[in-house]
Every structure is written in structure tokens, then in C-alpha cells.
Amino acid sequence: MTTSNYATERETTEGRVFTVTGGDWDQIVSGTDPINDERIVVNMGPQHPSTHGVLRLILELEGETVREARSVIGYLHTGIEKNLEYRNWVQGTTFVTRMDYLAPLFNETAYSLAVEKLLGITDDITERATTIRVLMMELNRIASHLVWVATTAMELGAINMMLYGFREREYILDIFESITGLRMNHAYVRPGGVAQDVPDEAIVKIHRFLKMMPKRLKEYEDLLSGQPIWIERTTNVAVLDATGCLALGVTGPVLRSAGLAWDLRKTMPYCGYETYEFDVPTHTDGDVWGRYLVRLAEIRESLKLVEQALGRLKPGPVMVADRKIAWPAQLAIGVDGMGNSLEHVAKIMGQSMESLIHHFKLVTEGFRVPPGQVYIGIESPRGELGVHAVSDGGTRPYRVHYREPSFVNLQALPAMSEGGLIADVIAGGASLDPVMGGCDR
């Protein structure tokens, strides 16, 4: 039996149990003789600011060259998937939105699409609700990519870009707040539609954003694209070709930067994306520079999609008509900015007793979902975000598991880092754009 450098083990009545205690650090160091092989082990993280969350990297170095890299995850584990088994199907939205906290609307949409497929109501989702989902996801994609370019630039020394990227992201978060009431963790996209309609003030803000953003993108390119240090730190750094991406299951901008135009919005359309006009940007070098160009190009494509979605926002309901499924979508905020308004409460109370009882049961118990299992995949800012949902016929999920792109893509870090310089680990790790909230869920 081989011994693990990373976990002690013991036999129990339940089988073999592994206990991770951090003892791996001592074991690795004790087996390294820096005099003979001139190698040292560096513990990067878990508090390191350049790891996009609570990620730990164990790097074995020879000089400044990385000979071996290992990723250690789990420091941000929330147990969200397990918690879903103890909440009804609608309450699950409140949990999944908190996984990848830079792309909450994608988490919600993928989950809702899976529940709707189990319910058999995919074709019953209203046109306005579907259009709003596309609108919100593409704004969220822009916001996520802005965080990527801002933080990656900061990690490589371009501090100004950090300020500008977050400045534009704040504008998108203001739009989200005016639509959902929250800047993040919205629980806005729900099975059957969306929680509430888009107000007119948000439409005005989105139009302003569409007018402003192309100019800002040009400023980003003027700041970075011709900058010698930026080019030196990103060109031919952390290279991963298409073959390597496919072998490791890597998707999203990293795969497209290696030349493969794989985008689920085009290859396996959902939410009516096949009816929108947009391109799938690619690059051929498969390095950090290519991932930078692809993400900037994707922001421009998302701006196109947002503009098209605005043009399709025809008046109509934003929740399915079936009142046994439809969560109340005509909510109104109270004067204290919290809870429901008195007018909305009076409207509920003024209906028939049967309606009031049904409303109460829907909110407290939830609806039943026929037994079965489905898989739904959508294109998140980091790649394929998949939901495997299983129902046993009850009001709560039997199992919900996410195929999270941050978790899958992170496996490529050793392949990108080993043989390169320790400074390039930062650039390579950042170019994957991992969000540990999604990775550790």
C-alpha cells in the first residue's frame, strides 16, 4: 500500500478514511534535500492575494523554475450542494447564487433550467422572462470579465487597470440592484421565470452603459495592449494548447484562446441564443495574452447581445401561468425598503381563501417535481457550467451537483506552470480566472 504525501489514512468500519491536517508540508520538506538537488518547496497561499480566493499552491522549485505544482482546495467549502437537499426547489436558488459569486445569475439560470426540464415546462417559460435572463447573464458576463482584467492587471503590476475595471463593474452592479434589489447573490432567476420585472429606470441605465462601455474598452486596450511589460508578462506564458484543454476538460475563454470555438450558446443553444447575432472570439496561441484578447472581445459580443435583448423586451408576464408552480413575481418593496408593501399584502389577502392557502403552501412547502434526473449545461464566464439535478418526486431535490468550470479548469494549473518561472504561476493562475466559491461549493 502506497503512502500519501498529502493525507494520513486509517481503516474504520465505514471504510478507509483520509484526514487532511496540513502535515503534508512537513512530509514534503523532510524528503527534500536542498543541498543535493537544490530544490525548495514554497507554500503559496492559502492567504496569497494572487490566487483569486482561498487557494493553496505547493510549488517545488529549482531556482526560480517550477518543477512541480500542486493545488490544494477546500478552504472555502460551504456545503451548498448538500444544503439543497434540505430546502424546497425554489429556495435552492438562494443557495446556488452564492457559489461562483462573480457569476451568480449563471448559477441561478442553470439551476432553474434544470428544474424546469424536470417539471416539463421548458416551453412554457414566457418570452419576456427568457429575454430578461439573456439580458442579465450577458451583463453579468461583462461584470465578471471586468473583474478578471482588473485583478489580473493588478497582479502583473498595472494598478490603474484595477481601478478602471471595478469602476465599470460598479455601474453594472447598480443596474442589478435596481432590477433585483441586490448587487450580488440575487436569487432573481427562479424556476418558472424571474422574481420580478425590469423597471424602466434600469432600462435607462442599461442604455447609458451600452453607450459608455465601448469607449472604456478602447481605453483599456490603449493602457495594456501596447504596453511592453504587459506583453512580456503575458506572451508565451502559461501555454496550454487545444489538445491539453480537451484532455483536462478545460472550457471557456481558456479553450477558445487555444483556437477551438466551443461555446454552448452556439453549439448547444439555450434561452433562445440561436436567434441572436454574435460571434465566438478565438485566438491561436493558447497563452495568457490570448486569453486577455478573447475576454475583451467577449465583452464586445456581450454588449451586442444586451442591445439585442433590450430590443426584444416586449410587454408580458415574467413567470409561468401555472399557479401551482409560479412563485409570486409581482412583488413590491415596502416603504422601509424591506419586505412587501402593504398594497401587495392587501392584494394577496383580498383574494379568495383558496388562493391565500395556496400562496402559503407554495411559499412554505413548495411544489412537487416529478421523479427523474436531468443535466443542463450553459456557458458561464469561465466555461461550461453544468447542473445535474435528481428528483425523487418530492418538494426538495434528492441531489443537485454542479459541473463547475473553476474546479475543472484549475486542474490545468500544473500543466501550465511546471517548467516555467514562479512569477508566471501568478499570470497563469489568474488567466484561468478561478473563483473558489464555485470550486469549493
What pLDDT shows up at residue 244? Answer: 92
pLDDT at 310 over 70: yes
Who has greater pLDDT, 106 or 155? Answer: 106
* CA within 13 Å, CB half, 309: 28
What pLDDT shows up at residue 33? Answer: 55
Cβ-contact 249, 262 below 8 angstroms: no
Tell me the average pLDDT across 233-243: 92
Rounded Cα gap, residues 18 and 422, in angstroms: 30
Rounded Cα gap, residues 124 and 38, in angstroms: 65
pLDDT at 350 over 80: no
Task: Say whether 384 sits in a helix, a strand or coil.
Answer: strand
In the chain, DSSP finds a helix count (H) and a strand count (E) of 19, 10
For residue range 166-206, list pLDDT tens digits in order. 999 999 999 999 998 888 999 999 999 998 899 899 999 99
Question: What does the CA dihedral 22, 24, 29, 31 come to, rounded to 10 degrees?
Answer: 160
Cβ-contact 245, 255 below 8 angstroms: yes
- Closest-CA residue to 27 (of 54, 51, 58): 58
Q: Looking at the domain covering 80-321+367-439, what would its CATH class be?
A: mainly alpha
Who has greater pLDDT, 401 or 343? Answer: 401
What pLDDT shows up at residue 265? Answer: 95
What pLDDT shows up at residue 28? Answer: 55
Lowest mean pLDDT among 90-94, 290-294, 363-367: 363-367
Q: Where in the chain are the domains?
A: 8-72, 80-321+367-439
Q: What's the DSSP call for residue 333?
A: B
Partners of 39 in beta bridges: 62
DSSP states of 223-276 as a string?
HHTT-HHHHHHHTTSS---HHHHHHHT--THHHHTTT----HHHHS--TTGGGS
CA distances from 356 to 140, 152, 259 (A): 36, 52, 56
CA distances from 126 to 111, 129, 313 (A): 17, 5, 11
What pLDDT shows up at residue 326? Answer: 79
Q: What percent of the chain has pLDDT over 90?
A: 60
For residue range 77-112, list pLDDT tens digits in order. 889 999 999 999 989 999 999 999 899 999 999 999
Cα 296 from chain centre: 17
Only one residue has cell 443557495, namely 95
Rounded Cα gap, residues 208 and 152, in angstroms: 27
Global pTM exceeds 0.85: yes
Tell me the average pLDDT across 26-53: 65
Cβ-contact 430, 151 below 8 angstroms: yes
CA distances from 265 to 111, 279, 302, 323, 383 (A): 16, 10, 12, 30, 11
What pLDDT shows up at residue 276? Answer: 96
Lowest mean pLDDT among 22-26, 140-144, 320-324, 371-375: 22-26
What pLDDT shows up at residue 55? Answer: 86
